[in-house]
Chains A and B, each alone.
Chain A
Amino acid sequence: MQIESPNILLIVVAAVVMVLYVFTNSAVLVWVERKVSAHIQRRPGPFEVGPFGLLQTAIDGLKLMAKQLIIPGKADKRLFMLAPVLSFVPPIAALLTVPFGKVVQVQNLDIGILFILSLAALNVLAILIAGWASANKYSLFGAVRSVAQNIAYEIPLLLSLLTAVLWMGTLNLGELVDAQGGFWFVFTPFGFVAFLIYFVTGMAETNRAPFDLPEAESELTAGFHTEYSGMGFGLFFLGEYTNMILVSAIATSLFLGGYNLPFVTLNGEGVLWELIRVLIFLAKAYFLIFVMIWMRWTFPRVRFDQLLNLCWKVLIPFSLVNLAAAAIWIKAVGG
């Protein structure tokens, strides 16, 4: 038996590419978010810097990097510095297992979806540490809300993903995409319900309006990142946008057939086919992100009890019934 060395160089290069992608993605998404929000609110949005205001984000990034990083006197310094890093690194590591195409996937793990979920669990830890270390009551309230919210939405999120995993019988993201082929999981009634539940809870996972209670500006100043200035805040921001692409990428690979067109499986070989597959995947993921932005600027923020009621009294029962129904269907009909 010959044991081959793992190709560490490939992984390092891929990780660097992924970091570059995350930065570019955030820069573009911030611009898109500002443009979309502006058009929803009947105003032009950024248009001064560069054509269509495209360079606005670059200037904003420079501004953030040039700003002084102020650490409050009473803050727990080490934890205060740790929190932004902790919110930024895990989503990038999780992106390494996302199958953008048949070949364009850094590491195809057998437990792919579990790996992503366990890294996503660290996000709430980052918010907690940020809120606690800031030694500020608004920050602390943001952090406490984040945990209460996390406990509520994590259950329906996991149950809806479990429905998909049960249906396709694998945790491997690449196999999950291949198992759907052209017949996306969302076309089945169970898949449709699970997808809706996942998308709602995914919005809560990214802490975005209408579920942005941990940073509700009108009540908590800026919630858990009140005390962060400069790139400390910038890293939280990057983390949020990376989480958005992660949530959409999971939704795309588990429910929307990954890189396959509806009722058409793309199995072609070669660079061109791979490029088409990656473009299809990205088109789906970015459409979901567009919907997230759209919802953020359309719906008002929910009240905290409304969010908890929605999660505990609507989403959890529905996802449990959905899971049970899918299990019975698989046993009776055979998937």
Chain B
Amino acid sequence: MDITFSSDFSAYVAIADVTFIAFIAMTLAGGLVAILAKQLIHAVLGLILCLIGVAGLYAFLGNYFIASMQILIYVGAVSISMVFAVMLARPPAEVKQKSMRLATKIALGVIVGLFTAATVGSAVFAQHWSEAAKVTKGDTPVEIGVGLLTHNVLAFELISLVLLIAIIGSVVIAKRGRGTGTSVGGEEI
């Protein structure tokens, strides 16, 4: 298959490159804000910026469905619930934090980082991307729906089990809070 481009295409390629770099920068900056911010709410907003950047990358890959789902679920629902929880909690500036020794912090960070890098990295390098790109379908809602209910039905059902456990857990915690007559965390808000 010969692919030819119209004459003014290079300008658009430049625009696309700039957009791509902007999304990458957004994701990285958001991630950095999320871990470095002193105030918890800034951290959550950084996470939101990071997630929007990732959504932009999905859109850049041409999968608009996943991109808008990313924003709808992770920004619209998950992050909003997180901000809600943060606002109901006491400001972290007032809470005395148990300070960990710097060496312990670094050691723990390296362990977690290496573990994540190893798992994600092994998955990335095990995949034959050029072949995967040819056979991958599943960027329309219909294909995703069929995939979830046929090939990936076990994972799909397991996720709903996880959600069920989370709901039951939150109900249990909420009930215990009411029973003893204390508010969240035993602190006055």
Tell me the chain A residues, 144-193 only, with Cβ under 8 Å from chain B.
144, 147-148, 150-151, 154, 171
Q: Give min CB distance, A74 to chain B, whole Å.
A: 12
Q: Does B118 contact A (CB under 8 A)?
A: no
Residues on B with C-beta less than 8 A from A8 are: 12, 15
Q: Which residues of B contact A154 (CB under 8 A)?
A: 76-77
Of listed B48, B72, B79, B140, residue having the most chain A CB within 10 A: B72
Complex Cα–Cα for A229 and B140 (A): 45
Does B71 belong to the interface (CB within 8 Å)?
yes
Number of residues from A at the complex interface, CB < 8 A: 32
Tell me which residues across on chain A come within 8 A of B125, comparing CB atoms.
Answer: none
Contact partners of B115 in chain A: CB under 8 A: none
Binding-face segment, B81-89, B96-104, B157-165, B169-177: B81-89
How many residues on chain B are close to A (CB under 8 Å)? Answer: 32
A2 adjacent to B84 (CB under 8 Å): no
Instruction: Select which of A4, A110, A125 is within 8 A of B140 by beta carbon.
Output: A110
Query: Given the known A-B contacts A1-B4, A5-B8, A114-B65, are A121 and B71 also in contact in the complex, defined by CB atoms under 8 Å?
Result: yes
Residue on A with the closest CB to B1? A1
B42-65 Cβ-contact flags toward A at 8 Å (1 or 0): 000100100000000000000011
Nearest CB of chain B from residue A166's CB, rounded to whole Å: 11
Task: Return the contact of A5 from the options B3, B9, B84, B140 (Cβ within 8 A).
Answer: B9
Selected contact of B68 from candidates A118, A124, A132, A151, CB within 8 Å: A118
Q: B83, A128: Cβ atoms under 8 Å?
A: yes
- The answer, yes or no, to whether B129 is at the interface (CB within 8 Å) is no
User: A111, B68: Cβ atoms under 8 Å?
Assistant: yes
Partner of B141, one of A119, A125, A144, A171: A171
CA distance A62 to B12 in the complex (A): 39
Q: Nearest chain A CB to B30's CB is how many angstroms away?
A: 14
Interchain Cβ contacts under 8 Å between A and B, 16 examples: A1-B3, A2-B4, A2-B5, A114-B69, A114-B72, A117-B68, A118-B69, A118-B72, A118-B76, A119-B71, A125-B80, A128-B83, A143-B87, A144-B88, A151-B80, A171-B141
